[in-house]
A = this chain, B = another copy of it.
């Protein structure tokens, strides 16, 4: 909302604005997401949360993530290889997309305005309002592509 707000303050405001309450668990999950440079799924978040609060329950993590999503503090992402598993990232992170190398398994982030341009062109072309765009890319990274001129998969 406000340029001076930290994510925690923003969350606090959003929670109260919707008749919800700030709890230590919610603050903790948000902090973990904000501080992490890695991609976190619910279970990983749980493991990190337990280091701070050994009683915290996995169900609480899931419920908290739903609330954080509603408060627009986190985004859900998916990886091409493991689409079923939800990955959570703070919305404070600049918009980006993921590329998964099917050979070495590395997941790299990249950002490009090509996707944004495509997005707005598509909005006009198919006549809809896009609120969410998911782009998952999969293939061979530069290094693996070189070693691998003959691809079976």
Residues of A whose CB lies within 8 Å of any CB of B are 76, 78, 80, 83-84, 86, 99, 101-102, 108, 110, 112, 114-115, 118, 121-122, 125-142, 145, 151, 153
Contacts and interface: CB of A to CB of B under 8 A. Distances in A.
A135 B122 CA distance: 12
A80 B112 contact: no
Given A76-B83, A128-B139, A131-B140, 9 more contacts: A83-B83, A84-B84, A84-B86, A99-B128, A112-B125, A115-B118, A131-B139, A131-B153, A133-B135
Contact of A136 (B134, B139, B153): B134
Contacts of A86: 83-84
Given A112-B126, A122-B112, A135 B138 contact: no
Contact of A145 (B112, B129, B139, B141): B129
A68 to B, nearest CB: 15
Contacts of A80: 132, 134
Most chain B CB neighbours (cut-off 10 Å) among A80, A99, A129, A151 = A129
A99 B84 CA distance: 19
A78 B83 CA distance: 8
Nearest to A142: B127
A132 B128 contact: no
Contacts of A114: 118, 121-122, 125
Contacts of A134: 78, 80, 83, 134-138
